[in-house]
Each structure stands twice: as structure tokens, then as C-alpha cells.
Amino acid sequence: MMTSLSAITWGFLCVFTVALAGLFFTTRIDAAAAKKRKEFRRNKALERFNNPESFDEPIESPEEYAVLREQLGDLAKNSELEQKAVALIKEYEAKLDLMEFIKLHQDLSREKSND
């Protein structure tokens, strides 16, 4: 025998369903916005490295690093730009290694202080 649900139970069920649907749709909207921002940063990086003077400035973002790595094959035609690009990539990778080393050192320091 099946009993009907009380009004309070129906109310909670409706609120839960609406909250779950809202969470789903806001997550989708946030993901779409993040994808748009990433695409914008990538386009900005592509635009930056279309200008030969920009090879004198250091890489500032992961998107610029990725774009420059992708363009290395195309830069083989101009050896001077290719050398500058390789130097920028090595400099950025060294900076990433240093940041990773500092983070590891900080984590080890925290572990020692917690013991």
C-alpha cells in the first residue's frame, strides 16, 4: 500500500529539485565563461607574437608559453626570431622550475613546523 507524501515533503522535494537544477545550470554557465576567457587569453597571446618586437619582452602567461611553443616550427624560417623564442621559453621554464622549488620548500617547512 502506498501512502501519499505530505505537503512538507513535497515542498522539500521541489526546493531540492530547483536547487539541483540551478547548480547544474550555473556550473554550465561558469564553464562556458571560463572557456571564453581562456580563448580570449590565447588570442591575445597569438596577437602578441605576430609582432617581432614582442620577442624582446618576457613570457607572462601560460597561454603565451603554449602559443610560442606551437609557433617554433614556423619561426624556423627566421633564425633570429627562433633564437629569441627559444631563449624566452627557456627563461619561462626556469621561472616555473624556481616557483616549483619554492613551493616544495614551503611545503617541507610546513611539515616540519607541524611535527
Number of domains in the chain: 1
Average pLDDT, the chain: 87
Angle between helices 62-71 and 79-114 (to 10 degrees): 140
Is the confidence at residue 2, as pLDDT, over 80?
no
In a domain, 89, yes or no: yes
In a domain, 71, yes or no: yes
CA dihedral 70, 75, 79, 81 (to 10 degrees): -80
In a domain, 1, yes or no: no
In a domain, 12, yes or no: yes
CA dihedral 20, 25, 31, 33 (to 10 degrees): -140
Sequence-ordered list of residues with C-beta below 8 angstroms from that of 84, at least 6 positions apart, any chain? 55, 56
Domain that holds residue 59: 7-114
43-92, pLDDT tens digit by residue?
998 888 888 888 888 898 899 999 988 888 888 788 888 888 899 999 99
Task: Give the integer Cα–Cα distance in Å for 111 and 104.
Answer: 11
Residue 107: pLDDT band (50, 70, 90) is: confident
In a domain, 2, yes or no: no
What pLDDT shows up at residue 3? 61
**pTM over the 0.85 mark:** no
Residue 1: pLDDT band (50, 70, 90) is: very low
